Structure 1
């Protein structure tokens, strides 16, 4: 039995004397925080979740960016998905452990000490305080009344008095530590079970999420799990343009519908104004032109897809080819740069034939008239699932509250009545000057108390000798001036 007890006691001693002091060390916490901040910045600067070919093309070995940053370094260290790497999650866990150790070994004991009260029973104890004074002719009850009016919570014991206020200032650091732990927990949850998807959906279409581009190792990304019995319908997509022709804002009117087609929710989204439903957030992220609707002479309406030409021409353009002969041996090309309705027409020889607009009939040749009916846009949606976001929001809310609480000064005062003298002193953990001014105001109020008529005294004291009935400050610590 002793064989098992001694190793266990040795482990306990190691945890208490070595491990906990190491984890609670402020220098360790600051170092971990700076490392987390540094790698978080790298995750913002470096593109995340791209394929290997992307990094090989943009971060070649020669010349290496900054002399060392190549695709091999990025891929080896996992900087392509830094927030999900084991070492980054390990840093978060270690930082959280350090905060927890500091909370239990320092902050909670400090709060426990602040909540308890101690009484001074010897005058020399007041000499150690930042502010102290020696009074005459004032009783303990009068002091108690004045301190109570200044918000101090008071405790009595015989001829001693202890008061405190601002206990929230001691609770604040604990709230800050707890809020940071909640934020870390939310970040870890989001990185493990969250996912990101992108969908390009034509105006008027209904879709469910299929194009998952990034997901945590524990994320459930099958459609039946994500959306179950509902889908998203794009009621309308449109773009507002400025007078100069630049894009001002683009919008998507989205409806959440069930299997029977009933509308469960609806919202018009735009940049920085997403739709949230079923634990998913739908952001307006991009747009495109999906197809064109046109008629040749009196033909039926043709609905022809349009393709992006950005890679070929180096600009944001969309184009399509329209046959103008039944055997498709000849045709024209239509190219546009936006949804404002202007299109450029090119012949089969590549020469421009002019321009046209939506709703306008244009003669291509003597026997053919082109009538553009509509340009159909596609909304680019980014869909995110991050179950850790509520925890992160809660953590940041508590963090702001804890920071505000931490600015509250925790002030303490002691009073001791010894014979005809009364010893008065106090200390605070911050705002020392304001605290001393407050105590000086208390002393001034005490001195302003009405005194007995001197003529009733059997013996009139000399001016150099203060009367026991007359309050006076006989000693004031220089630091309080």
Structure 2
């Protein structure tokens, strides 16, 4: 009685829930919902501040009449890919794929692996391609085909042949039946990787001046089940940061020579990274994403070297400019502003009234406000995105299997039946794709086993 009670929920799940999950319309609906919400996450800016959403999505007037910052934050459209409802869509879609695999694809593969022999001529009428050949008495000039010859000819064409008495069954391309299962498995891996990455992934951003060593602390995204253990026990050092420019002065590429330093000060890994060429260490990936001017080194007359920080200025979208203020009197009552656009070594000097006084290159000095101002060095900073995503291997494996399944899907599952009865040899076959190619192969095979019968004579016997 206990076994019956425990089996009832499982039986109810198989009979009631699995058919619903395996429904093709449900899978298509879920896929459309995932695509739509992903598009929304692409259009609406993600992970911005509250002030940003209030400024760009006001309540009056609301975008499209309803989309305001309150709706965006309330529904989670500011972080679509980590909301409970988006992850639920992924889980439900994955469940639908798994249900379809176990209720349809695997039974179909099992059925394709089984072979059946045709014992009656009328069974050939249901085949897409069928015909018959007369069998006469053998003679030297015109030998009649027999099952031994038929089996040999099919084996030469790489068919797997099974025989039982006067009946024969042959097949090839069974691997093509595996392709749909591999597709479902690959999609499940991709969905699983996306979910794992969403709940356990960590993203950090750091702007590190050249020559500095820092620990990663500026985390901008972290999954609910994420752990910072991957970021402990080591530091990141920027040995050097530099930019290559084109002859016209535009940025060609920027580079960062990075080292991973352990707690004892030993270098564990080192690589020069640039855009699309990251450094990978202990499951953490360092991407080159941005740059900045961190500071300048100056000398006033014969003073010690001063290092002054450079800050980005608001240009209203007209390029990037960094600036700093340099005092020229000990009481800070007078000074000049220094502005720079890049690390090519040229800076502009403005006085207190905003008038351009001079331009200055690294290594040069000018007289201003009664002192000698020397520009010794401009230090750049590299902008890094530091990411840990344990789901990435699953996603890559899923896409690899998806490519494999694409190749497998080109294999046609072809089947041929043969029955020898009295003075007639009945032939028939079918395939799941490439019908024209299979018909051509079938006729060539018939011509091989019955050379004196032309294709034109056999063709009328072929019934579609």
Q: 2:334 matched to 1:323?
A: no
* 2:84 alignment counterpart: 86
* 2:212 alignment counterpart: 205
TM-score norm. by structure 2 comes to 0.93
Taking the aligned partners of 2:457 and 2:356, their CA distance within structure 1 comes to: 102
Aligned residue among 4, 12, 15 for 1:14: 12
My pick for the range that moved more, 226-235 or 247-256, is: 226-235
Q: What's the CA shift for 1:418?
A: 0.4
Q: Equivalent residues in 2 for 1:74-473 (5 A)? A: 74-137=72-135, 138-221=145-228, 225-310=229-314, 315-365=319-369, 367-448=370-451
What SS does structure 1 have at the residue aligned with 2:252? strand
In the alignment, structure 1 segments of 5+ residues that lack a partner are: 450-469
Q: What's the CA shift for 1:173?
A: 0.6
- 1:135–1:473 Cα contact (<8 Å) kept: no
Q: What's the CA shift for 1:330?
A: 1.3
What SS does structure 1 have at the residue aligned with 2:35? helix
My pick for the range that moved more, 12-21 or 344-353, is: 12-21
TM-score norm. by structure 1 comes to 0.90
* 1:42 alignment counterpart: 40
Taking the aligned partners of 1:113 and 1:34, their CA distance within structure 2 comes to: 32
Taking the aligned partners of 1:254 and 1:432, their CA distance within structure 2 comes to: 58
What SS does structure 2 have at the residue aligned with 1:243? coil
In the alignment, structure 2 segments of 5+ residues that lack a partner are: 136-144
* 1:456 alignment counterpart: none
Q: What's the CA shift for 1:9?
A: 6.0
User: 1:475–1:249: structure 2 CA closer, same or farther, 3 Å change rule?
Assistant: closer
User: 1:478–1:76: structure 2 CA closer, same or farther, 3 Å change rule?
Assistant: farther
- 1:310–1:318 Cα contact (<8 Å) kept: no
Q: What's the CA shift for 1:89?
A: 0.8
Q: What's the CA shift for 1:10?
A: 5.4
What SS does structure 2 have at the residue aligned with 1:444? helix
Q: What's the CA shift for 1:328?
A: 2.1
- 2:254–2:275 Cα contact (<8 Å) kept: yes
- 1:135–1:471 Cα contact (<8 Å) kept: no
